[in-house]
A and B are shown apart, each in its own frame.
Chain A
Amino acid sequence: MFEKEKLAKVKESLNAYEAKVAETIQKRPERKEVFESGSGSVVNRLYTPLDIEDFDYERDLGMPGSFPYTRGVQPTMYRGRFWTMRMYAGFATAEESNKRYKYLIEQGSMGLSVAFDLPTQIGYDSDHPLSEGEVGKVGVAIDSLADMEILFDGIPLDKVSTSMTINAPASVLLAMYIAVAEKQGVTPDKLRGTIQNDILKEYIARGTYIFPTEASMRLITNIFEYCSKNVPLWNTISISGYHIREAGSTAAQEVGFTLADGIAYVEAAIKAGLDVDTFAPRLSFFFNAHNDILEEVAKYRAARRLWARIMKERFGAKKPKSMALKFHTQTGGSTLTAQQPENNIVRVAIQTLAAVLGGTQSLHTNSKDEALALPTEDSVRVALRTQQIVAYESGVADTVDPLAGSYYIEAKTKEIEEEAMKYIKKIDEMGGAPKAIDNGYIQQEIMDAAYNYQKDIETGKRIIVGMNKFQIEEEAPKGLLKVDPSVGELQKKKIQELKAKRDNELVKERLEALRGACQTDENLMPYILDAVRAYATLGEICGVMREVFGEYQQSVQL
């Protein structure tokens, strides 16, 4: 990119600059001896062409919408249309959540994003003993197709795109979604949306696993195969760095571990006999947005470039869509403070800018009160408005990848790509992501970073405004959202009623058919769909699979 002679000149003037700076520092020292990014990597005083000496525009960036997709996956990006403003929501019963979805659509939300409660995420019905106290708390309780019908009542499934944060029992919830669509007269080929379906990060960071690795990977590849034939517009997985970052990783670890998980899924699908170009275009990713805006922008760009290269070079993908990394972003929940919650609105705005400048395809913005409870309608609206202000007023969406060519951004993009690649190599040497999770390597790396971060806050090396500096005496915030504790009882009653009126013989038959299929190599999706249609509950379906597959045992490294 740069001519040798000109670089030599830059070097000369840089030396002069540093000499002068050295004098200035003698008199007036800088604020810190070492400046560190949000992830703790060293930030230099100044970036110049010398930091990206071997930078090659065609090789490293290219044009938006073409390999290696550093500048974005679409040619015109947000000049065509804005990212999907997708607010993650769900709590209490299907009825309550349905109301919230309709409110969000009215307010200009463009896609739905369903949060399920923990029993649903772990495959227990609301009347299971372990569900005690958890029903409807962090999301909506779905026990059977009957609940799902209420959840999407009056919402035309051929018009909206729906994202579902569901992993271990993803196949069951997807089957319920397909079955609701059938009842609305919508054929599966029209359905658009995403299931998270990323079990590896559950083992690593989020904890809502059910089955052991092998069975989980089979369920995932079953979905890939089934959807490539029947639900072609569906994003079959959202490979998530979000939770890895929430668990305390650095930006580079977020990229490295997430792409290592991605590699494991691609390998599993290829091993199951699928052609890479049939399923790879439906892979999607999910990243976090933290406050160090420049580091975050570099992170998204690095992830895109690295994934494109992996798909092309390692897996021999041919279709451009197989190489293009598209991703959803959520602002960082762990960056929010319980102290002075209003400040969180500003943090979310910065994080929104990071995601948009980094070329996200969809975005959820957290609400200011989420360090304390689930968000109220008012605080969700402010979070959504934050996206709308960035979209309509800030101007950053009007040109593609506006930060490209910044010496710092390009140097940082390269640095993150290289560091992520180092992690991927190390994980490859261990035999892939599942093995590196099994031996606790990934968890321990994240935990080390999380502990260092905490120590930096406690020593005051890292400032969190309102928390360890600029504190005020404040009263407890009022008006937080409370989930009615009677939800659990209500759901239990609904299950009883359902079991009294459905065809229990049919349910038994379908569950036994599923059990049989679990013991073969058959694709389980059709069997799950049949069981769902007969109103077998989530707990019954997962229960059969638990019996055949057993349960995952977590690996703890501290």
Chain B
Amino acid sequence: MDLAERLLKGEKRAVARLITMAENHDSEAIEILKKLYKKTGNAHVIGITGPPGAGKSTLTDKLVKALRKEGKRVGIIAVDPTSPFTGGSILGDRVRMNELSMDSGVFIRSMGTRGHLGGLSKATAAAVKILDIYGAEYIFIETVGVGQSEVDIAKNADTTLMVMVPGLGDDIQAIKAGIMEIGDVFAVNKADRDGAKRTATEIEMMLDFNKSDWRPPVQKVIAVENKGIDELLAHIKEHMNHLRETGKLEKKRTENSKLEIVDLIQQKLMNMILDQSSKEEMVNQLAKDVALRKSDPYSAAEIVLEKIKKA
């Protein structure tokens, strides 16, 4: 039985292996995804982001447990940063999802960013599709949680859950712009701590500027104590219903597909330039000239593009 069939049968090892292949840019994985792409689009993809230490993993753990009570099949993709110096990483999100590892209805995969900026890995989108084909009804993507991840997550998720905690007042200011645009649901975790109310109020105040017909709800939770989880999950589902009812889901997915196509074109172009050694050499040589002020970066780029056009 080939990998595609095994994936369709719901075999976890096939899911796991395909994600690995996608991470390693294996062309076979792309072929399988081409073939099975029609089978995607059924899962509700939820992106979870927020500052480090906000309790994203614990919150994911609790949300997934709540969904498991409903008998839903769930996939989780947990992304952690890869060291730019060694290429290595420690992926530690499973520690907070220990019990889920024994649940046959849950698939957890940890991914390193592998040099991709923006809080996700390049292969995250492929992993989402694979889990979707596998039959996950809900797919959670937990980001690294840096300032840049917000835009990236919005490209991949139907619903973006922004997790905040009290005591990070300045950080809220710092990522305000990002929040305004992409948070669909807000959770204020560790709500038993001082300042939780203020944090919630601050978020509400910022949301007052939001003029769209979806007013993002702000839910206080205490993830470790499982408090506020059902309410939060209801908001997440409500958001999806809103997307479906208003036809925004199709619009959003169209936009996201466009972004993905553009991304892929960019990647392919880059590969065309850099994968062919002759061109890479050419770029290297031009770079030297630019550095020595024999040429300038604008002309250098034009030279390379001309060459590609001719090819």
Are B224 and A558 touching (Cβ within 8 A)? no
Are B92 and A556 touching (Cβ within 8 A)? yes
Which single member of A212, A439, A556 contacts B224 (CB below 8 Å)? A212
In the complex formed, the residue of A with least CB distance to B190 is A438
Query: Known contacts A553-B58, A558-B92; can you find 9 more A-B pairs with CB under 8 A?
Result: A212-B224, A439-B53, A550-B225, A553-B96, A553-B224, A554-B95, A556-B92, A556-B95, A558-B90
CA distance A470 to B90 in the complex (A): 35
Residues on the A chain within 8 Å of B224, using CB: 212, 553
11 contacts between A and B (CB under 8 A): A212-B224, A439-B53, A550-B225, A553-B58, A553-B96, A553-B224, A554-B95, A556-B92, A556-B95, A558-B90, A558-B92
CA distance A553 to B225 in the complex (A): 11
Among A439-484, those with CB < 8 Å from B are 439
Residues on the B chain within 8 Å of A553, using CB: 58, 96, 224
In the complex formed, the residue of A with least CB distance to B53 is A439
Interface size on B, residues (CB 8 A): 8
In the complex formed, the residue of A with least CB distance to B95 is A556
Interfacial residues, chain A to chain B (CB-CB below 8 A):
212, 439, 550, 553-554, 556, 558
Residues on the B chain within 8 Å of A556, using CB: 92, 95
In the complex formed, the residue of A with least CB distance to B89 is A558
Residues on the B chain within 8 Å of A212, using CB: 224
CA distance A557 to B90 in the complex (A): 10
CA distance A553 to B92 in the complex (A): 13
Residues on the A chain within 8 Å of B58, using CB: 553
CA distance A558 to B80 in the complex (A): 12
Q: Which residue among B58, B92, B224 has the maximum number of chain A CB atoms within 10 Å of its CB?
A: B224
Residues on the A chain within 8 Å of B225, using CB: 550
Top 7 closest pairs, chain A to chain B, by CB: A558-B90, A556-B95, A556-B92, A558-B92, A439-B53, A553-B224, A554-B95
- Give the Cβ gap from B65 to chain A, nearest Cβ, in Å: 13
CA distance A439 to B224 in the complex (A): 13
Among B204-249, those with CB < 8 Å from A are 224-225
CA distance A554 to B224 in the complex (A): 11
CA distance A131 to B58 in the complex (A): 26
- Give the Cβ gap from A553 to chain B, nearest Cβ, in Å: 6
In the complex formed, the residue of A with least CB distance to B96 is A553
Residues on the B chain within 8 Å of A439, using CB: 53
CA distance A202 to B269 in the complex (A): 54
| Interface 0/1 of B50-74, CB less than 8 Å to A | 0001000010000000000000000
CA distance A212 to B226 in the complex (A): 13
CA distance A212 to B225 in the complex (A): 10
In the complex formed, the residue of B with least CB distance to A552 is B224
CA distance A223 to B90 in the complex (A): 40
- Give the Cβ gap from A311 to chain B, nearest Cβ, in Å: 28
- Give the Cβ gap from B190 to chain A, nearest Cβ, in Å: 9
CA distance A553 to B90 in the complex (A): 19
Among B26-53, those with CB < 8 Å from A are 53
In the complex formed, the residue of A with least CB distance to B94 is A556
Residues on the A chain within 8 Å of B92, using CB: 556, 558
CA distance A212 to B53 in the complex (A): 18
CA distance A274 to B212 in the complex (A): 56
CA distance A550 to B92 in the complex (A): 22
CA distance A550 to B58 in the complex (A): 15
- Give the Cβ gap from A50 to chain B, nearest Cβ, in Å: 42
CA distance A556 to B95 in the complex (A): 7
- Give the Cβ gap from A248 to chain B, nearest Cβ, in Å: 17
CA distance A553 to B95 in the complex (A): 9
Among B165-217, those with CB < 8 Å from A are none
In the complex formed, the residue of B with least CB distance to A554 is B95
CA distance A558 to B83 in the complex (A): 13
Q: Which residue among A439, A550, A553, A554 has the maximum number of chain B CB atoms within 10 Å of its CB?
A: A553
In the complex formed, the residue of A with least CB distance to B223 is A553
In the complex formed, the residue of B with least CB distance to A440 is B53
In the complex formed, the residue of A with least CB distance to B92 is A556
Residues on the A chain within 8 Å of B96, using CB: 553
Among B95-117, those with CB < 8 Å from A are 95-96
Residues on the B chain within 8 Å of A558, using CB: 90, 92
CA distance A556 to B80 in the complex (A): 13
Residues on the B chain within 8 Å of A554, using CB: 95
In the complex formed, the residue of B with least CB distance to A439 is B53
CA distance A553 to B100 in the complex (A): 14
CA distance A554 to B58 in the complex (A): 11
CA distance A478 to B294 in the complex (A): 74
- Give the Cβ gap from A147 to chain B, nearest Cβ, in Å: 30
- Give the Cβ gap from A277 to chain B, nearest Cβ, in Å: 31
- Give the Cβ gap from A418 to chain B, nearest Cβ, in Å: 28
CA distance A553 to B53 in the complex (A): 14
- Give the Cβ gap from B218 to chain A, nearest Cβ, in Å: 23
